[in-house]
Chains A and B, each alone.
Chain A
Amino acid sequence: MHLRDRLARIDIHGAPYLFIAPFFLLFGIFGLFPLGYTLWVSLHDWTLLGGNEGWVGFGNYTELFSDDYFWNSLLNTFAIFLIATIPQMLVALGLAQVLNASLRAITFWRVGVIIPTATSVAAVGIIFTMAFSRDFGIVNWMIGLVGVDPIAWNQERIPSWIAIATMVDWRWTGYNALILLAALQAVPKDLYESARLDGASAARQFWSITIPMLRPTLMFVVTVSTIGGIQLFTEPLLFNPGANAITGGDMRQFQTSAMYVVEQAFTGQRFGYAATVAWVLFAVIVLVSLVNSLLVRRIRSAD
């Protein structure tokens, strides 16, 4: 074979790898390496200022499994995640349906739902924290109009979960609605036409055509929400302004696991232990994502 041919072959077969190489290079440096290094740190007694203070093997992990505050943070994380995500998915699906209909000024509405996503999470945190304030919050004023006593939103457990879930939903429902809308528009119209000819009701069309056709998109939306939900940090942090914000309330009633990582690393200065929490959290995310994809897979596929 001539050199030119050989070069051409390398070009054809090698070039794609070359093109994707930068991603994997960067992922290696900023993704894989920190992941491995965190694992290494988690096997040591490692303080923030003092650095490595000796190998402890799985000592940090055994400590973690009997650490009530870690399990408490995991419970909070999942509770907030569920309270936030389930209504969010349903509302997003509904919104997508509405936005898919022929409305006046459709672009206005479609842009409208995504505006909350573009706002800064810090601003959302501050505004919602004011709204949910015990003494001068608008939420307590409104429930007061229907005769409900003021709720100390950031002191009680379930109210604090609901308040934080509200912040999350306010920011992300519109975003998910737009993604679902894009998927809806890709559903071939003739499917609905033939269904109508066969006499299928609107509900039947929704369950037998729309949902199956949306399956891959739903999977994406659910997975991304899961990752975001389990890493939830800024909203609960801002929900507890003032001293010791990182503990998520005086009783740790809304401290998420991500906050616990930061608390251990920087307030407690236990880098090794924080790395352990981070790794277990990573494992939990992988596990939940797997469960999610199994569940979504059960939706009957359209193909």
Chain B
Amino acid sequence: MSHTRRSRWLATAAALVAMSSLAACGGDDSGSDSGEDVTLRVNLFGKFGYTDLYKQFEEEHPGVKIVETAEGDLGKYNTQLTQRIAAGSGAGDVVAIEEGQAVNFLASADKFVNLQEHGAKDLEDQFLPWKFAGATTADGATTIGLGTDVGGLAMCYRRDLFEKAGLPTDREAVAALWPTWDEFIATGEKFQDGIKGSDAKFIDSATNTYNSILMQSADHTYFDKDDNLVIESNPAVKAAWDKALEMDEKGISAELKSFSPEWNAGFKNGDFATIACPAWMTGYIKDQAGEENAGKWDIATVPGGGGNWGGSWLAVPADSKNQDIAIELVKFLSNADGQLAAFNAVGNLPSNPNLYEDPALQEATNPYFSDAPVGQLFVAGAANLEPVFLGAKNQPVRDAVENAMRSVENGQRSSSEGWDVAVNDAEKAAG
């Protein structure tokens, strides 16, 4: 509930921001650097964990004030950002680009400040090579964003529900239950047997699990590296589809739609016992499940061995009136200290490989998740993470496939009908 209300409020706030920056059009571009008061608008989605970093930056730069807006729903965020970047106004001074949008924005790289003109090349070794390359044009001349986090995968689970179902609760023992997704499904069936009489299900929805499986099984998903739609010829997509829907057929899915009020409530009420958990998801779970569920959640390794889902870059739109200070903020937030602070605040896994050896990360635990060694858990596979190529139209295609999958999950279509619809809609969405 609060999610929806918050996004309404944010939408209003964003509209106001858009209007005020419209009013600022025609102002003097260089006015901001002369030591006057500057308000930097930072436009993000989900949780980045920057509150303390903003304070530090504001203290180091008197006269600078940072205002953040954060949209909860990624699809909506992407839409709004694209809209504002296209309009050349209102996007803010610093924006987050999510992995699925990078290719799209690289096609219009002129809408962003080329960070290579501001020393980005010197920072290249601060990022996983593919992370830096991911926001750089093919000719290597333009870099539009600096990396924040990568989405190392793990599996979050409810200790209390596992115990009730007679499953082990210790995270090593839990991880040993599911080296593969097939064993994960078998564990799910055991869970349902063990917890008879309760409404709790093993997973939240087929779609979230589907995305995890897909993101760990190939170096590209719906689009090949030349940006052609390959949903039918890439076997990874259909395999992930079948595996995820197998879970629903076996009756282990709570069939809750991501980011819906029911899904949000499910974290709190214990409607599902596991959820595929990229590093950034831990912050969301803590938010939704609330303090009263502290210690009930824990984290184990994900079936299928690692994978990457999510992760972002910070960029400065070309229409920002405060580019110099905004670029400074981007560098500040994405440097090693900034990434570590964000990790400590909300669990986002750094994209700076030098940090992976850092004891501060290696030894980090998350008290909310029963003191799970999140540093080790997420870092373990991070250094070996392979980038997954997502095409320019990834978001609409993913939306179409998820919609089709949900209709199968809800029993409105058979799996094969759903797949036909998914392929059909994907072709349409890819245009």
Contact = CB atoms under 8 A, between A and B. Distances in A.
B79 A267 contact: yes
A83 to B, nearest CB: 21
B407 A250 contact: yes
Contact of A267 (B257, B395, B410): B395
B108 A242 contact: no
B74 to A, nearest CB: 8
Given A49-B86, A130-B1, A268 B429 contact: yes
A243 B261 contact: no
A247 B403 contact: yes
Contacts of A135: 262
A116 interface: no
B257 A242 contact: yes
A266 B431 contact: no
A270 interface: yes
B83 interface: yes
Interface string B82-101: 11011000000000000000
Interface string B355-396: 000000000000000000000000000000000000001011
Q: Is the interface of B mostly helix, strand, loop or mixed?
A: helix
A49 B406 contact: no
B407 A133 contact: no
A207 B1 CA distance: 48
Interface in B60-119: 73, 75-76, 79, 82-83, 85-86, 104-105, 107-108, 111
A133 B4 CA distance: 14
Contacts of B86: 48-49
Contacts of B83: 48, 266
Contacts of B412: 155, 250-251
Given A48-B82, A49-B82, A50-B107, A133 B262 contact: yes
A132 B298 CA distance: 34
Contacts of A224: none
Contacts of B414: none
Given A242-B260, A250-B407, A270 B107 contact: no
Interface string A142-182: 00000000001001000000000000000000000000000
Interface residues of A, number: 28
B403 A250 contact: yes
Contacts of A48: 82-83, 86
Q: Is the interface of A mostly helix, strand, loop or mixed?
A: loop
A266 B87 CA distance: 12
Given A49-B107, A267-B395, A269-B82, A241 B260 contact: yes
A82 B308 CA distance: 48
B80 to A, nearest CB: 8
Interface in A214-273: 238, 241-245, 247, 250-251, 266-270
A126 B399 contact: no
Contacts of A111: none
B196 interface: no
Contact of B259 (A49, A133, A242): A242
A250 B260 contact: no
A122 interface: yes
B58 to A, nearest CB: 32
A49 B410 contact: no
Contacts of A268: 396, 429, 431
B8 interface: yes
A247 B399 contact: yes
A155 B410 contact: yes
A243 B257 contact: yes
Interface in A87-112: none
A152 B260 CA distance: 14
Nearest to A48: B86
Contacts of B396: 267-269
A259 to B, nearest CB: 13
Interface string B249-270: 0000000011111110100000
A276 to B, nearest CB: 14
Nearest to B8: A122
A104 to B, nearest CB: 38
A49 B108 contact: yes
A130 B261 contact: yes
Given A242-B257, A243-B73, A50 B399 contact: no
CB-CB nearest 4 A-B residue pairs: A242-B260, A250-B407, A242-B259, A250-B406
Given A50-B107, A242-B260, 19 more contacts: A49-B82, A49-B85, A49-B107, A50-B108, A122-B8, A129-B261, A130-B261, A241-B4, A241-B260, A243-B258, A243-B399, A244-B403, A247-B399, A247-B403, A250-B410, A251-B407, A267-B396, A267-B399, A269-B393
